[in-house]
Chain A
């Protein structure tokens, strides 16, 4: 289908670009699925810009994956006249489209994208006013200006370094001095402004962060140097000032480079659709789900999401709550039953009357909890900032003591000289760079193991964890559809063929799992196929009556079987031939992982699922570990909260919307997923499912990295002691300052990068050396 579209526009070269440009086509949606895009208010919200002739829109296309994609998407204008221009930003998986609204509508653009396999990610959150995109331009400006001035000030300071005799050429010294002052002005007033702002904000909140001593050092450096240059009494320390600010900004740049394409802040609006179909006087109308009110009647089709708690009006419905509860089986509901929001309808379209607004429904209420209102940087302050307080106090007292001594022993001038020297030399450049650079590198190394963290603070928190809480379905087990089939009874090859043919007629998850298990289907035509929702399926195949269903269904077919919860029975000609049970399939290596983890951490399991697996799991978890089943999303949140009140530092590993509250509440919420681009609730880190068995090694690496941060701290404090010893003796010269500061920074940064690199190699070697995990 994609090929046809492309061929008709002579774009077959697409297929030449890579041998296998294949995109997996998901079942294409019917055209009416996008009818909400005809509504003016939705269009207005989505468009970034619009005038008479042009409209601009940005879409997130998670399917984008190769160079061919870029080429195809940037040549969209050939597929549809009216599209003026399209630009792809590959790493963010975004496309920026300009089109002529008179010639082509937004809906047609989206339909075109969907028809070639790139359906835009359109969920409720797309309607929110987007926060102005993180503007890095100003930051690069500051960095560029600081770098430029740093290099030139160093050059202008050469005469001073070489010890040119200031007496013989006084005009040179003055000339270079004034040039240095001139070059330092933009550094001080522009590039360094962020540090002053941050220090000021900290002071206003009566909190001494690491930027306070930095700002003090910068002020002392600039004031002292400007004084020396203007009074012609010395060469000043402008080179140190520029170097300091350039290094600090580089450190910040390194720290802030995180994962562009990953989103760690999604809430339910990223999962819920934009629109719903409302029934109004017998007519269907497409409305945004924010416009839905209690009392409205809506129509929900197969595979659509129930947007708010509602009462079922139609006869019966099957709902897939797997993402909300973790329960893998379809839930049957009858007329008059309450349907909770977040479930996906399986089967024919049904009508329902809303009883709650979207944001007040059972599931979405989770986001009204306090833990979602707090600032994101809650809990443990960053390692460096915690040091800032003690550091500032220590430096200020040393500076005052030294100044007091020199005031008594010598003159006020020497006292001021010593006071500023102490502030200059103690300026915690190396200290401020140490943690961000070391942890920033650790973050990237963890990323290579498909463990993506939101920021460096998460590494710090991972090092402090005392308790690990696991969700079950989708986290320690594979997602549904990959369950292991347990069979009671022997089936001949022929019977397997019959079963296989029968289950291929149904879209029920159990049928799909059995179809994969049963193998090739019998080559016959099924006749009289019937499906009783929530019970079973039956058909006549080649003269045999074949039926598959639960115990009640089997009884209805005249066959009494022991009613074991969750079992499915196969009947051939009225005889029960086999019973199937779908067991969750645990991720390979899980048992070994739990063995290793229990030596250091307390472990818990908290599942929305029933407790059929309790026996297996109790053997794997340490004795007396908390194993909770049938927990609601709110229970999970409350459980994590209770642990934290007991002073535990909690890591929560979960995957679904039902874990969203617990993930948010925990000190480190890790979303386990097979596809980092797929929806995952708000979290601190995203871990690829196949790497879960390496969790202990990843945590070990975080702890080791934090140890390296502490060692780097010792090194930088060592430099400070040396510098302070010189400074309190009133011996600090610009050359010493200009050497000491970069030397300490470079050695601390080098130490951090090197050690984390070595540790990372060690961790990766341990991962690949781990015995190849086998499937249960």
Chain B
């Protein structure tokens, strides 16, 4: 039965790790703006909006 003592302490440490991750995410500002990053991740790495890749020259009339 004494295994339970060890297991519970290990599980608490794991859970504490997740708590630390949550606190880190809060401090990092991840809960402050929950709209813009969802849009931002859709852009390609070169900074242009994804999907239609731009060829040279003018786009259609707009």
B4-43: which have CB < 8 Å to A? Answer: 4-5, 8, 12, 15-16, 18-19, 22-23, 26-27, 31-33, 35-36, 39-40, 42-43
- If A17-B49, A141-B23, A144-B22 touch, whether A12 touches B36 (CB-CB below 8 Å) is no
**Contact (Cβ within 8 A) A140 B19:** no
Task: Name the one of B26, B31, B43, B58 contacting A71, with C-beta atoms under 8 angstroms.
Answer: B43
Task: Name the one of B18, B19, B26, B59 contacting A16, with C-beta atoms under 8 angstroms.
Answer: B59
- If A17-B49, A148-B19, A152-B15 touch, whether A12 touches B39 (CB-CB below 8 Å) is no
- If A12-B59, A91-B33, A140-B31 touch, whether A71 touches B49 (CB-CB below 8 Å) is yes
Contacts of A91 in B (CB 8 A): 33, 35-36
Task: Name the one of A17, A68, A137 contacting B26, with C-beta atoms under 8 angstroms.
Answer: A137
- If A144-B22, A152-B12 touch, whether A15 touches B35 (CB-CB below 8 Å) is no
Using a CB–CB cutoff of 8 Å, the interface residues on chain A facing chain B are 3, 7, 12-17, 67-68, 70-71, 74-75, 78, 87-92, 136-137, 140-141, 144-145, 148, 151-152, 156, 169, 172, 175, 179
The chain A residue with its CB closest to the CB of B60 is A15
Task: Name the one of B1, B26, B33 contacting A90, with C-beta atoms under 8 angstroms.
Answer: B33
Whole-angstrom distance between the alpha carbons of A70 and B8 in the complex? 47
**Contact (Cβ within 8 A) A179 B49:** no
Whole-angstrom distance between the alpha carbons of A70 and B22 in the complex? 27
Contacts of A71 in B (CB 8 A): 39, 43, 49
Q: A530 CB to closest chain B CB, in angstroms?
A: 41
The chain A residue with its CB closest to the CB of B49 is A17
Contacts of B27 in A (CB 8 A): 137
- If A71-B43, A175-B5, A179-B8 touch, whether A89 touches B36 (CB-CB below 8 Å) is yes
**Contact (Cβ within 8 A) B8 A13:** no
A-B complex: 8 closest residue pairs judged by Cβ atoms: A140-B26, A148-B19, A90-B36, A17-B49, A13-B48, A15-B62, A89-B33, A13-B54
**Contact (Cβ within 8 A) B36 A88:** yes
The chain A residue with its CB closest to the CB of B61 is A15
The chain B residue with its CB closest to the CB of A19 is B62
- Tell me which of A90, A136, A156, A169 has the highest count of chain B C-beta atoms within 10 A of its own C-beta: A90
Contacts of A140 in B (CB 8 A): 26, 31
**Contact (Cβ within 8 A) A3 B49:** no
Contacts of B51 in A (CB 8 A): 16
**Contact (Cβ within 8 A) A13 B23:** no
The chain A residue with its CB closest to the CB of B4 is A172
**Contact (Cβ within 8 A) A145 B19:** yes
Contacts of B48 in A (CB 8 A): 13
The chain A residue with its CB closest to the CB of B31 is A140
Contacts of A137 in B (CB 8 A): 26-27
Q: A424 CB to closest chain B CB, in angstroms?
A: 26
Whole-angstrom distance between the alpha carbons of A148 and B32 in the complex? 21
Whole-angstrom distance between the alpha carbons of A54 and B23 in the complex? 29
Whole-angstrom distance between the alpha carbons of A326 and B58 in the complex? 48
Contacts of A148 in B (CB 8 A): 15-16, 18-19, 22
Whole-angstrom distance between the alpha carbons of A636 and B45 in the complex? 57
Contacts of A68 in B (CB 8 A): 49
8 further A-B contacts with Cβ under 8 Å, apart from A92-B33, A144-B22, are A12-B54, A67-B42, A68-B49, A89-B32, A90-B35, A91-B33, A145-B19, A179-B12
Q: B36 CB to closest chain A CB, in angstroms?
A: 4
Contacts of A88 in B (CB 8 A): 36
The chain A residue with its CB closest to the CB of B30 is A140
Whole-angstrom distance between the alpha carbons of A172 and B1 in the complex? 10
**Contact (Cβ within 8 A) A12 B52:** no
Contacts of A144 in B (CB 8 A): 19, 22-23, 26
- Tell me which of B31, B32, B49, B52 has the highest count of chain A C-beta atoms within 10 A of its own C-beta: B49
Whole-angstrom distance between the alpha carbons of A91 and B37 in the complex? 11
Contacts of A90 in B (CB 8 A): 33, 35-36, 39
**Contact (Cβ within 8 A) A16 B36:** no
Whole-angstrom distance between the alpha carbons of A130 and B21 in the complex? 31
Whole-angstrom distance between the alpha carbons of A148 and B26 in the complex? 15
Whole-angstrom distance between the alpha carbons of A89 and B40 in the complex? 11
Contacts of B43 in A (CB 8 A): 71
**Contact (Cβ within 8 A) A70 B19:** no
**Contact (Cβ within 8 A) B22 A75:** no
**Contact (Cβ within 8 A) B58 A7:** yes
What are 16 of the A-B contact pairs (CB < 8 Å)? A7-B58, A12-B58, A15-B59, A16-B49, A17-B49, A74-B40, A88-B36, A89-B32, A141-B23, A145-B19, A148-B15, A148-B18, A148-B19, A148-B22, A156-B8, A172-B1
Q: B17 CB to closest chain A CB, in angstroms?
A: 11
Whole-angstrom distance between the alpha carbons of A634 and B47 in the complex? 54
Contacts of A145 in B (CB 8 A): 19
Whole-angstrom distance between the alpha carbons of A70 and B36 in the complex? 8
- Tell me which of A7, A70, A136 has the highest count of chain B C-beta atoms within 10 A of its own C-beta: A70
Whole-angstrom distance between the alpha carbons of A75 and B39 in the complex? 14
Q: A459 CB to closest chain B CB, in angstroms?
A: 25
Contacts of B15 in A (CB 8 A): 148, 151-152
Contacts of B33 in A (CB 8 A): 89-92
Contacts of B54 in A (CB 8 A): 12-13, 16
Whole-angstrom distance between the alpha carbons of A91 and B32 in the complex? 10
**Contact (Cβ within 8 A) B19 A67:** no
The chain B residue with its CB closest to the CB of A140 is B26
Contacts of A92 in B (CB 8 A): 33
**Contact (Cβ within 8 A) A136 B62:** no
The chain A residue with its CB closest to the CB of B9 is A179
Whole-angstrom distance between the alpha carbons of A179 and B39 in the complex? 44
**Contact (Cβ within 8 A) A3 B62:** yes
Whole-angstrom distance between the alpha carbons of A179 and B9 in the complex? 9
Task: Name the one of A13, A17, A70, A141 contacting B40, with C-beta atoms under 8 angstroms.
Answer: A70
**Contact (Cβ within 8 A) A75 B47:** yes
Q: B27 CB to closest chain A CB, in angstroms?
A: 6
Contacts of A70 in B (CB 8 A): 36, 39-40
Contacts of A169 in B (CB 8 A): 1
Whole-angstrom distance between the alpha carbons of A90 and B51 in the complex? 22
Whole-angstrom distance between the alpha carbons of A12 and B1 in the complex? 69
The chain A residue with its CB closest to the CB of B29 is A137
Contacts of B49 in A (CB 8 A): 13-14, 16-17, 68, 71
Contacts of B47 in A (CB 8 A): 75, 78
The chain B residue with its CB closest to the CB of A183 is B12
Contacts of B16 in A (CB 8 A): 148
The chain A residue with its CB closest to the CB of B48 is A13
The chain B residue with its CB closest to the CB of A169 is B1
Whole-angstrom distance between the alpha carbons of A91 and B36 in the complex? 8
Whole-angstrom distance between the alpha carbons of A13 and B40 in the complex? 15
Whole-angstrom distance between the alpha carbons of A388 and B33 in the complex? 35
Contacts of B19 in A (CB 8 A): 144-145, 148
Contacts of A141 in B (CB 8 A): 23, 26
Contacts of A17 in B (CB 8 A): 49
Contacts of A15 in B (CB 8 A): 59, 62
Contacts of A14 in B (CB 8 A): 49
Whole-angstrom distance between the alpha carbons of A135 and B26 in the complex? 11
Contacts of B31 in A (CB 8 A): 136, 140
Contacts of B32 in A (CB 8 A): 89, 136
Q: A137 CB to closest chain B CB, in angstroms?
A: 6
Q: B57 CB to closest chain A CB, in angstroms?
A: 9
Whole-angstrom distance between the alpha carbons of A70 and B49 in the complex? 11
Contacts of A3 in B (CB 8 A): 62
Contacts of A151 in B (CB 8 A): 15
Whole-angstrom distance between the alpha carbons of A175 and B5 in the complex? 8
The chain A residue with its CB closest to the CB of B52 is A16
Q: B30 CB to closest chain A CB, in angstroms?
A: 10
